[in-house]
Amino acid sequence: MVQSVSGGTGSGQPANSNKAKPRVLPSRRRARRAWAALGIVIVAIGFLLYKGLGNSLVYFRTAAGAVQDRAQLGNKTFRLEGVVVPGSIHTTGTGVDFSVESSNVFVQVHDIANPPQLFQPNIPVVLVGHFQQNIFLSNQIMVKHSASYVAAHPDRVATVNGKKL
Amino acid sequence: MGSKRYQRLRRAMGIVSVLLVAVTVVLGLWVTPPDVVQGQLVRLIYVHPPMAWVAYLAYGVTSLASVLYLWRRTRNLRWDLLAASSAEVGVIFTGLTLITGSIWGRPAWGVWWTWDARLTTTALLFVLYIGYLALRRIPADSHQRAVRSAIAGLIAFIDVPIVHQSVVWWRTLHQGATVLNPSLSPRIHGEMASTLLLGFIAFTFVYVWMLLHRYQIAALEQNVLDAELEKLIQERRNEPGLGSSQIESSGDANNVGQPSKV
């Protein structure tokens, strides 16, 4: 609003009428910057919607679902989810071999990446990779931990100095 | 607004906020137990969800203030300034939510970022409200800016429930809600739960404190703009050969005739 007034005094006016000029950017320049910023935001929204629609709607397939759609999936890369089967973890030279389970369907996994620090038996994981025959070749393991928070030592007692064990 | 009482309130809010955050940090880092699965990583829970909550709250206030501006009976430029101030604080907390989530995600999940529904919709929320703030920068008179910002703010708010429900509606890597889950049964150990609750209260105080400051700055900026406008009108009125009727007909009636009072 100020810009429209100060913009009007910009040309052909006496010098003393330009007092307010340094305080605001010329309105056209300011508008151009604002429109450019808005344009960038719109492009960013478009990018996020594109990525969201492409990845988020079916973020992963469960092991049971993937086995059911095995023929349709072929060698396509996708995310597979399942719970790490206890006793199935074997460290290899390049990564780790293990099995995942969902709805009593088991899938054998050969992973070639370092597992994250929370990787352990009985934890849900999301794996990125593809089927090769009946083995799922994974190049990324993501741990999907639960929303429950349980104290590691729920029956902690205070020691003499007040600290808990 | 600039009264001593208001200043005292702001200062008190600041002191209480700092104290509450300090107590949350001490409890979160040293008193609460590690988690049976996540170990020490769980300590980020005392800041990450409270920051997300503050972002929701801030955008809720922006929406409420936007509705109050759009409704003719309650229309006042104060609501527009409150909406903008709250959105700015919300954007800061959304950014912090994304950063703390990423810091937590790297060791817990194994990745800094993934395109699951929770993360994508949160990033979208961040960009939407940056867009809201960018829209406010487009030159316009106060009323026009307030109306279009209010509409944009309300449209952007649609994403807030989508963000919250994303872990229910879609398969995500992000875990579901711990406290506000569909069965409304918190699944968290007692000391952890009380510290988390304290975190929510502490960051809510921080939000109110930041909002009070940002709103005052916004109001002062508006007053300066109004004063400048008045001055420029007066200067033109004093120019020889220019009558007041010519000035009023050449400018924006909303601004020239009625400088906004904040």
CATH of the domain at B69: 1.20.120
Does any domain span residue A73? yes
Residue with tokens 């709607």: A57
Place of tokens 């990787």: A119
Q: What's the average model confidence in pLDDT over B16-24?
A: 97
B100, B98, B152: which is closest to B121 by C-alpha?
B98
CA distance B26 to B195: 10
- Same domain as A40, residue A66: no
Query: A96 and A43 in one domain?
Result: no
Assigned domain for B92 exists: yes
Quote the pLDDT of residue A163: 53
CB contact under 8 A, B137 and A34: yes
Q: Residue A151 in contact with residue A134, Cβ under 8 Å?
A: no
Query: Is residue B144 assigned to a domain?
Result: yes
Residue A40 shares a structural domain with residue A100: no
Q: Sorting pLDDT into bands at 50, 70 and 90, what band is A50? A: confident
The mean per-residue pLDDT over the stretch B65-90 comes to 97
Classify B110 in phi/psi space as left (phi over 0), alpha (psi -120 to 50) or beta: left
Q: Which residue of B has its CA nearest to A37?
A: B134
Say what the pLDDT of residue A16 is: 46
Look at residue A81 and tell me if it is in a domain: yes
Is residue A60 within 8 Å of A67, Cβ to Cβ?
no
Q: Do A118 and B36 touch (CB under 8 A)?
A: no
Asked whether residue A72 falls in the same domain as residue A133, the answer is yes
Instruction: Give a yes or no: residue A66 inside a domain.
Output: yes
Residue B11 is assigned to a structural domain of this protein: no
Of B31, B181, B191, Cβ closest to residue A147 = B181
Tell me the C-alpha distance between B31 and B79, whole Å. 42
Kindly identify which residue of chain A lies nearest to residue B125, measuring between CA atoms.
A45
Q: How many domains does chain B have?
A: 1
CA distance linking residue B247 with residue B252, whole number of Å: 9
Q: What is the pLDDT of residue A152?
A: 81
Question: Which positions in chain B touch A81 (Cβ < 8 Å)?
Answer: 171
Does the residue A151 lie in any domain? no
Question: By residue range, what is the domain housing residue B121?
Answer: 16-171+187-215
Strands (E) in B2-119, as ranges, are none
In angstroms, rounded to a whole number, what is the distance separating the alpha carbons of residues A141 and A144? 10
Domain stop point among A37, A55, A73: A55
Tell me which chain A residues have a C-beta less than 8 angstroms from the C-beta of B124.
45, 48-49, 52
Q: Are residues A82 and A50 in the same domain?
A: no
* Domain membership flag for residue B210: yes
- Predicted confidence at residue B187, as pLDDT, reads 80
- Looking at the structure, tell me whether residues A18 and A87 fall in a common domain: no
**Inter-chain CB proximity B108 and A118 less than 8 Å:** yes
Domain co-membership, A47 together with A24: yes
Least-confidence region, from A44-53, B22-31, B198-207: A44-53
Residues A134 and A66 occupy one common structural domain = yes
> Which pLDDT score, from 0 to 100, does residue A64 have?
96
The answer to whether position B251 is within a domain reads no
- Looking at every residue in chain A, the average pLDDT score rounds to 81
Q: Is residue A120 part of a domain?
A: yes
| Contact between A151 and B33 using a beta-carbon 8 Å cutoff | yes
Q: In this structure, are A39 and A106 located in the same domain? A: no
Q: Compute the nearest-CA separation of B45 from chain A (Å).
A: 10
Residues spanned by the domain of A123: 61-143
Task: Tell me what pLDDT residue A156 has.
Answer: 58
Give the total number of structural domains in chain A: 2
Closest of B78, B56, B162 to residue B118, by C-alpha: B162
Task: Write the CATH number for A96.
Answer: 2.40.50.140
The pLDDT confidence band at residue B257, using thresholds 50, 70 and 90, is: very low
